Amino acid sequence: MQKVNLFFVGTAKSSTTSLYQTLMDYSDFNLPIVKEPNCFNIGSSQVPGKGPGDQYATEVIRDLRKYEENYKSNLHEKYKCDFSVSYLYDNSAPDLINNYNPEAKVVVILRNPIDRAWSHYLHLVRDCREELTFEEALKNENKRIFDCYEFSWHYFNLGLYSTQVARYKEIFGERVKFFIYEEILKDNEGFFKELSSFLDIPALHDATFSKQRFNSTGSVKRPFIAAIVNKPSYLRSMLRALVPRGFGSKLMESVRKFTMDDKKPILPDDVKSSLAEAYSKDIVEVEKLLNIDLAFWKVK
């Protein structure tokens, strides 16, 4: 049995769900039944966590036999993929992945850390898990980490990319490829051409993302329905296991949109400026590590 040999490790809220849906159409890729099996994150991501809904929101498959059974038989596969977005943040994951498969490749997508933090906050609001304001949540983040809330609650710390990038560069070298989320949005075709070259999959050269958005976030306008549909629970976990993965994601997204307000909340300028200052040194370090210009991440 072929080992998992391609890891899309995050960051969270950077279109990995859309990428998962796109790759379903290509026989070169064997995609996991549970999209994020979280097999190799036993460190700083704190999975499984103890925050509200953590036990149902994040599935965990640590047994290697069960991990490799999380894939359907595919005789045409070149890559068996894992989309666990906590791996980038988790300080144990790079070594564990490399020890599991020393030939594995890794794809990293980095997003403006301020936008990413705000999006992840709205994600938990949408799922009826987060009850604090964003400012309150940031003030309480270290306490939540101490109380073993999973990585999804680490809004600020998830965006401190320099240490995360350095770990993957050191361990994987040329077997890791870094992309910038905002550049992907501007040039889908260019992204898939680069990914095609990195993975040596010519058929992927002309791929495009689906026009349908997945895992969208926003404020809730129908809280009763949202609590049933969005909030992680044992019932929702059971239904997710029964519904085919491609159809299930599209159905869930349609229902979610019904529960959410059309206007997405805007992050206040003063909070944005404060975060920009807090992230500024780390962004400079990422620029040095990747030899790129991230001026568009810096609030003026």
DSSP 8-state symbol, 296: G
Give the total number of structural domains in the chain: 1
Sheet harboring 6-8: ordered strands across? 29-30, 79-82, 6-8, 105-110, 176-180
How many angstroms separate the CA atoms of 280 and 300, rounded? 11
Has residue 188 got a pLDDT over 80? yes
Residue 233 lies in a domain: no
Task: At 97, list the tokens.
Answer: 């992945």
In order, the DSSP letters of 94-158 are HHHHHHH-TT-EEEEEE--HHHHHHHHHHHHHHTT---S-HHHHHHTHHHHHHTT--GGG-TTGG
How many angstroms separate the CA atoms of 24 and 282, rounded? 35
Return the residue matching tokens 């144990």: 92
Has residue 228 got a pLDDT over 80? no
Residue 175 lies in a domain: yes
Comparing 104-108, 143-147, 229-233, the range with the smallest average pLDDT is 229-233
Examine residue 11 and say whether the peptide bond preceding it is cis (omega within 30 degrees of 0): yes
- What pLDDT is attached to residue 206? 85
Residue 238 lies in a domain: no
How many angstroms separate the CA atoms of 132 and 124, rounded? 10
Has residue 266 got a pLDDT over 70? yes
> Which amino acid is residue 296, in one-letter code?
F
CA-based nearest residue to 83, from 30, 124, 137: 30
Has residue 63 got a pLDDT over 90? yes
Per-residue pLDDT reduced to its tens digit, 34-53: 999 999 999 999 999 999 99
Residue 121 lies in a domain: yes
- What pLDDT is attached to residue 80? 96
**pTM for the full model?**
0.86
Has residue 182 got a pLDDT over 70? yes
- What pLDDT is attached to residue 249? 55
| Contact predicate 10/87, CB 8 Å | yes
Comparing 52-61, 225-234, 280-289, the range with the smallest average pLDDT is 225-234
CATH number at residue 131: 3.40.50.300
Residue 259 lies in a domain: no
161-188 b/e (C-beta count within 10 Å ≥ 16 → b)? bbebbebbbebbeebbbbbbbeebeeee
Residue 46 lies in a domain: yes
Handedness of CA 117, 218, 145, 81 (dihedral sign): negative
Residue 290 lies in a domain: yes
Torsion angle of alpha carbons 207, 211, 216, 218, nearest 10°?
Answer: 140
Provide the greatest CA pair distance for the chain.
54
Coil, helix or strand at residue 247: helix
DSSP 8-state symbol, 80: E
Confidence of residue 211 (pLDDT cuts 50, 70, 90): low
| Contact predicate 219/125, CB 8 Å | yes
| Contact predicate 10/152, CB 8 Å | no
> Which amino acid is residue 54, in one-letter code?
D
Has residue 285 got a pLDDT over 90? yes
Residue 1 lies in a domain: no
Instruction: State the average pLDDT over residues 216-241.
Output: 57
Has residue 17 got a pLDDT over 70? yes
- What pLDDT is attached to residue 117? 97
Confidence of residue 2 (pLDDT cuts 50, 70, 90): confident
Instruction: State the average pLDDT over residues 167-190.
Output: 96
Residue numbers of the domain that contains 202: 6-214+269-297
| Contact predicate 184/191, CB 8 Å | yes
